[in-house]
Structure 1
Amino acid sequence: MSEHNDWKPAEVRPDGVEPSAGGLRRTLAAMDDFGDVLTRAKVVVFRGFQVSEPELEDVMDLLLPNRLAYRHGTSPRTKVAAGNVYTSTEYPREQTIAMHNELSYSHKWPARLLFYCATTPGSGGATPVVDGTLWLESLDDEVRDAFAGGVRYSQNLHDGLGLGRSWQQTFETDDREQVEAFLEEGHFAWKWTSDGGLRMVSPVRPAAVKHPVTGDEVWFNQADHFHPAALGDDLARELAQILPPEELPQSVTFADGGPIPEAYVTHVHDRGLELAVDVDWRQGDLMVIDNVAVGHGRRPYTGDRRVLVAMSD
């Protein structure tokens, strides 16, 4: 584990170029291949280029060549631009968002994420990032072995009125045929309910995967985010005490359907946050992360923090 302990994101600042969106574009053009840079660094933070929000799209075209919709997303976001740009997760500012890899519970996930700070938070609000190999290696053998067979996720999505997200929000469409095609492609078990909602159960998903380029094995699942033990507010926790798991907006089991012990979930959750490196924000900063190599989250904050996010394959 020691070889990963000193990992931290790479920083790029204006060097021989003006601090502007144009300067950032020239910096990127001078790189041999940003994909190779990102694979080596895992996270690249661009500071001091003073990119304004109206200039963001031109910069993103160089960093995220094929921006993706947030399809099958579980967190509340708002789309702010036609080019698949979203607000970062809109949870209350006092809440910590635990470490995770975007859409790791699905059969399709983005290879890259880009974050952009449009408004500096009053205080706090860092985006913590964690090396997925270090996270995996840090887990107790008992926990790592228990997850070796993978996990299975369940979701109950309402039709516009209910707890959690609707299926229309989750899939960014009100076309049932589009949703069904996505579910069939991902080999979900699913059914439409009598009240217009959608019940879906994933096939077995891995708890850890190998990076497609480096071959490094990384922790790559969101079992703790789907488990009642890690729910982020009192109402959600109370709900988990009242409803059986199969009726919750989302839940998770081991591959064989067996329950995941609360202590395992807490262990995974806590290790990720303990090992994370915080990336603080100033207006105009950008960060690109390798979504397989690295997990990310959010620290609590005060003020009017506004961070945008986009995704790419």
Structure 2
Amino acid sequence: MGAGEAWKPYEIYPEAGAAGVAGLLSRLDAEADLEALLDREKALVFRGFGVTEERVDAVLDRLLPNRLAYVHGNSPRTKVGRNVYTSTEYPAEFTISMHNELSYAHSWPARLAFCCVTAAATGGATPVVDAALWLASLDDAVRERFAGGVRYTQNLHGGLGLGKSWQDTFETDDRERVDAFLAAAGAEAEWRRDGGLRVTQHRPATVRHPRTGAEVWFNQSDQWHPAALGDETAAALAKLLPADQLPQSVAFADGSPIPAEDVVQVRDRGLAAAVDVDWRQGDVLLIDNLLVAHGRRPFTGARRVLVAMSD
């Protein structure tokens, strides 16, 4: 990327006589240092290789050698294979704002890979944003207020209620396993009389990439704050539940409230700086989960994008 040139994902196409999944696997085998390429480009799009759902495992095995389960994930998904999931199952008419996967958690995946097995009739792009540019786009005062980090609170029901259950969130119905996981993560866990679980975690608002040293915006304050859901949705939730009983909520690390205008700025500037990856059937997108945040544009028709992650 030259000076003054806007960032965008690096696109890779089949070479002559090397199409299809076999061609993609050969291309990946020939890449001397995929990690260095991803450090430099931040996101890679493999187009024209025609990857199908039946063959996606072979590709993911090369891109993500150690695929992770979506444990402690807060978005609704369906597991469809060996640590392969559908992308967030959220109503098609809504935008999913920019975020780094599991940035609210104690540990997060280093890489994400997406595969489009069915492209939407219209829309449905995956916007991606350079997380360092996202951080730089925020007002100085906003960055300063977030400097001390954030506190996330989850209220996970035990089988009936708003949001996800703790069983779905941790992919187990064993309370001892959940307790051990949260203790290792430094999170506070409180089992409720109704069978639910409240989880509280303190996390930084920014992190530095372990190899490039880039400081990036790395939190989901806007997605966890009702103000960023829109006035009507926030008002409806407020009628149903007090703030401390919402499925998820966020505050500054000291417990003080985050101003609504701060999270709206974070949401809107992330989306404004994003570059859309417009899907074609069989495309694969690989991103560095620290350097790049992602989201989803509204769509029509049947869209099916699979996702997997690795450390």
Q: Secondary structure at the match of 2:136?
A: helix
Q: Secondary structure at the match of 1:178?
A: helix
Alignment of 1:194-233 (within 5 A): 194-202=193-201, 204-231=202-229
Q: Of 244, 258, 270, which aligns to 1:272?
A: 270
How far apart in 1 are the matches of 2:146 and 2:4? Answer: 22
| Cα distance change on mapping 1:185 and 1:233 into 2, 3 Å | farther
Instruction: Tell me the CA shift for residue 222 of structure 1.
Output: 0.2
Instruction: Tell me the CA shift for residue 187 of structure 1.
Output: 1.2
- Look up the equivalent residue of 1:35 and give its one-letter code: E
Matched residue count: 310
Alignment of 1:79-94 (within 5 A): 79-81=79-81, 83-94=82-93
Q: Secondary structure at the match of 1:53?
A: coil
Contact 1:4 1:131 (C-alpha < 8 Å) held by counterparts? no
State the match for 2:189 in structure 1: 190
Instruction: Tell me the CA shift for residue 233 of structure 1.
Output: 9.0
Contact 1:49 1:284 (C-alpha < 8 Å) held by counterparts? yes
State the match for 2:133 in structure 1: 134
How far apart in 2 are the matches of 1:237 and 1:163? Answer: 16
- Look up the equivalent residue of 1:247 and give its one-letter code: Q
How far apart in 2 are the matches of 1:290 and 1:36? Answer: 11
State the match for 1:258 in structure 2: 256
Contact 2:227 2:234 (C-alpha < 8 Å) held by counterparts? no
Give per-residue Cα distances to partners, 1:136-165, cap 9 Å, x unaligned: 000001111110110000010000100000
Q: Secondary structure at the match of 1:259?
A: coil
Unmatched 5+ residue regions in structure 2?
A: none
- Look up the equivalent residue of 2:73 and give its one-letter code: G
How far apart in 1 are the matches of 2:120 and 2:297? Answer: 11
Contact 2:191 2:198 (C-alpha < 8 Å) held by counterparts? yes
Give per-residue Cα distances to partners, 1:251-273, cap 9 Å, x unaligned: 00001100000000000000000
| Cα distance change on mapping 1:145 and 1:235 into 2, 3 Å | closer
Instruction: Tell me the CA shift for residue 231 of structure 1.
Output: 2.4
State the match for 1:172 in structure 2: 171
Contact 1:231 1:237 (C-alpha < 8 Å) held by counterparts? no
| Cα distance change on mapping 1:3 and 1:169 into 2, 3 Å | farther
State the match for 2:55 in structure 1: 55
Q: TM-score, normalised by structure 2?
A: 0.97
How far apart in 1 are the matches of 2:186 and 2:51? Answer: 42
| Cα distance change on mapping 1:53 and 1:242 into 2, 3 Å | closer
State the match for 1:120 in structure 2: 119
Contact 1:227 1:265 (C-alpha < 8 Å) held by counterparts? yes
How far apart in 2 are the matches of 1:39 and 1:206? Answer: 22
- Look up the equivalent residue of 1:55 and give its one-letter code: R
Instruction: Tell me the CA shift for residue 242 of structure 1.
Output: 4.8
How far apart in 2 are the matches of 1:244 and 1:258? Answer: 16
| Cα distance change on mapping 1:255 and 1:7 into 2, 3 Å | same
How far apart in 2 are the matches of 1:21 and 1:270? Answer: 37
Q: TM-score, normalised by structure 1?
A: 0.96
State the match for 2:29 in structure 1: 29
Say what the alpha-carbon RMSD is for the aligned residues: 1.5
Contact 1:5 1:134 (C-alpha < 8 Å) held by counterparts? no
Contact 1:125 1:298 (C-alpha < 8 Å) held by counterparts? yes
Q: Secondary structure at the match of 2:77?
A: coil
| Cα distance change on mapping 1:3 and 1:237 into 2, 3 Å | farther
| Cα distance change on mapping 1:235 and 1:161 into 2, 3 Å | farther
Q: Secondary structure at the match of 1:54?
A: coil
Q: Secondary structure at the match of 1:297?
A: strand
